[in-house]
Amino acid sequence: MNKHIENYLDLYLEREDVEYATLLTGKWGCGKTFFIRNYIEKRSNDNRYKFIYVSLFGLKDIPSVNDAIFEELHPILSHKSIKFAGGILKSAINFGFTFDLIGDASQETTAKIDLSKIINPLKNDTNNYNNLIFIFDDLERTLIPIIEILGFINSICENKNVKTIIIANEDEINYKNKSNDKNETYKRFKEKVIGKSFIIHNDNESYWKSFEEKYSSKLKKYEIIINIIQSTFERSGNKNYRNLIQTTDDYIDFTKKIKSNYLDNDEFIERLSEQFYTLSLEYKKEHNIDSVLESLKQDNSGFYYSLIFDTDIWKMIITSCYNSYDELNELISSLPIFNRKEDESWQKLWHYREMNRDEFYTNLEDVKNKFISIEYHNIGILMHAVSMLVFFIKKNLCRNISIDEIEQTLSKYLDKYKETSSFPDLRFFRLNTTGLGYINEEDDDFIRIRSEFYKKINEQQFILENKNTIDDFYKLLPFIKIADWSNTYSNYEKYECKVLLTEENVNQVMEVLIDDSNNYNGLYNFCYFLDERYKTNRSINEITLAEYLKAEESFIDKFIACLTNRYNSKDLDPFDKFKLDEILNILRLKKERFKVH
């Protein structure tokens, strides 16, 4: 498709005394960079040319362009057969000449490249720079003021007629400069410097051939998923090759830690690749994953309701670096793809339209009995049962259980979770990875029941996690006792802003800190720890850390009370009494920090 551009560039490079540049333009992602890199690669064995490719993306000033050019030249310049005049290596590239780009002396720009200092002793002349071909990509994405960078490029074109290729998204340049005179500057630049302009079009045939060369050995089951990738890319509509490359690299990274036996399954990898590419390519267009999912729900419900992972998991996979692979592999193992067996009653009931009367009532009764007997261990299936029971109660087809009884039974499920200290991870459940949506997902009662149930699970999870955190924290007490601050603070960040010290744990703390010999070093060290814990120079939500942890004041009160009882003991040695008095005074000072200032 772009063969005519290649032909012209071949002619352009062969010409002598060229005083103009060539412009390649096109929309973002259309393959401009791919085209020029492919063109360079095809001519990599032609010793007549040395291509100096520089991306202007993100470069802030002309010296940074200088550095980029030097890095490209370095493989040649650093060769032992090349010598330099004029000092150090970078002196071969100089800037510092005033150039009036648009005929207005008030808008001069400083930009010059002096290539005459590059000497090739093998040729014994100073004209070897004529074989340098400068390629400046991403003109529209540079941070350098447009007048400066255009003047710089112009100076290269005029300096010994060096051939220059510019790659840019002209639509973006025109859009950025439409409200000021910089657009006029760009037009004059084109008139003066650009010999010919070409629009790069998506060259599907060449691109997919290159894609195969790059990824066929990296993508598992390439021969199966390549058609899925191509069709998904075509459906995405914007033909942005850059987004496709980024998505493919993300997909490869994501699948590295998925168990290989899962990826060997054709059905699984087909669904995984289609869903990953669809969500990723759409996300790269909008950069709003919630909007993408909502659009799919409205416009492509079949795809949305067949997602193999919960939407929250997909959000993490697509928008960040996903790393919970143990949980993900466990979740994949539960997919129906890997668990082919006779449908359970709740699955059969989901297809109630295909049942006769006897089949319907038999399966409905089984779902109800299993629900009442607390037999549904999988929370996703449990919510399916709730959804069905609510639905058929309202249709007067399930008359021996009420919605109130459903809610009471769910409380028993919560009690069971509490007893086992095992709560389901809600991130992994919406459709229970069955591909079946809830039978009445929009029903107000079902939404309320499910929301309240999930809320209570989250609350209990928080309590359990907090208890585990507290238990972990108290394992630090032996380190605090001996002032081993390295081990104390190595993982202290996760405890720093949590209420951990409660009056119920005072005796536990004292047993660790005070040994039988009445050595109070542990108590002193604990006071030093509290000094750090309740520091006043750290704020959270505009209050001091001590004020934020005010709930621990009851711990300090009881701790002081217990030590006071010990202090009042008649059998206590005067020296021990003296040290305890010091410790008590320190604790009272710590207590003062809880006061709101």
Q: Do 365 and 393 meet the contact criterion of CB atoms below 8 Å apart?
A: no
Please report whether residue 91 resides in a domain.
Answer: no
Q: Range of 407's domain?
A: 345-457
For residues 121 and 245, membership in a common domain is answered with no
Residue 555, pLDDT > 70, answer yes
Q: How many other C-beta atoms are found inside a 10 Å radius of the C-beta of residue 48?
A: 10
Instruction: Say yes or no to pLDDT of 317 above 80.
Output: yes
Of residues 151 and 562, more confidence is placed in 562
**Does the pLDDT at position 54 exceed 60?**
yes
78 confidence band (pLDDT: 50, 70, 90) = very low
Please tell me which of 107-116, 321-330, 520-529 the model is most confident about, judged by mean pLDDT.
520-529
Last residue of a domain, one of 199, 221, 245: 199
Residue that wins the pLDDT comparison between 498 and 528: 528
Q: Verify that 275 and 222 share a domain, yes or no.
A: yes
The predicted model scores a pTM of 0.44
Kindly state whether residues 453 and 566 are assigned to the same domain.
no
Does the residue 471 lie in any domain? no
What is the pLDDT at residue 179? 63
pLDDT at 394: 95
Averaged pLDDT for residues 572-576: 89
Q: Which of 199, 230, 265 corresponds to the end of one domain?
A: 199
Closest residue by Cα to residue 380 from 426, 445, 417:
426
Q: Which uninterrupted H or E stretch holds 252?
A: helix 241-255
Please tell me whether residues 448 and 516 are part of one structural domain: no
Task: Summarize the confidence of residues 544-561 as an average pLDDT.
Answer: 90
Please state whether beta strands 108-110 and 98-100 pair in parallel, antiparallel, or not at all (unpaired): antiparallel
Question: Nearest 5°: phi and psi at 189?
Answer: -60, -45
Q: Please give the residue that has the higher pLDDT: either 575 or 181.
A: 575
- Residues 195 and 281 grouped into a single domain: no
Residues 65 and 144 in one domain: yes
Number of domains the chain is built from: 4
Q: Where are the beta strands (DSSP E) in 498-573?
A: 539-540, 543-544
Q: Does residue 231 sit in the same domain as residue 292? A: yes
Q: Above pLDDT 90, what percent of the chain?
A: 31
Residue 136's pLDDT is 94
- pLDDT, position 119: 33
- Please give the mean pLDDT across all residues of the chain: 82
Both 333 and 351 in one domain: the answer is: no
Residues 175 and 221 in one domain: no
CB 524 within 8 A of CB 581: no
Distances (CA, A) of 511 to 374, 410, 520, 522, 573: 42, 42, 12, 10, 19
Q: Do 513 and 569 reside in the same domain of the chain? A: yes
Mean per-residue pLDDT for 393-420? 90
User: Are residues 21 and 168 located together in one domain of the fold?
Assistant: yes
Q: 185 in a domain, yes or no?
A: yes
Model confidence at 404: pLDDT above 80:
yes
Residue 75's pLDDT band (cuts 50, 70, 90): low
The domain boundary residue, chosen from 183, 199, 215:
199
Average pLDDT of 428-452? 76
| Cα torsion angle, 496, 500, 501, 505, sign | negative
Residue 173, domain CATH: 3.40.50.300
pLDDT score at 206: 75
Predicted local distance difference test score (pLDDT) of residue 334: 85
Please report, for residues 203, 268, 348, the alpha-carbon distance to residue 386 in angstroms, rounded to integers and kept in the order given: 53, 29, 15
334 and 384 inside one domain = no
Whether 392 shows a pLDDT value over 90: the answer reads: yes
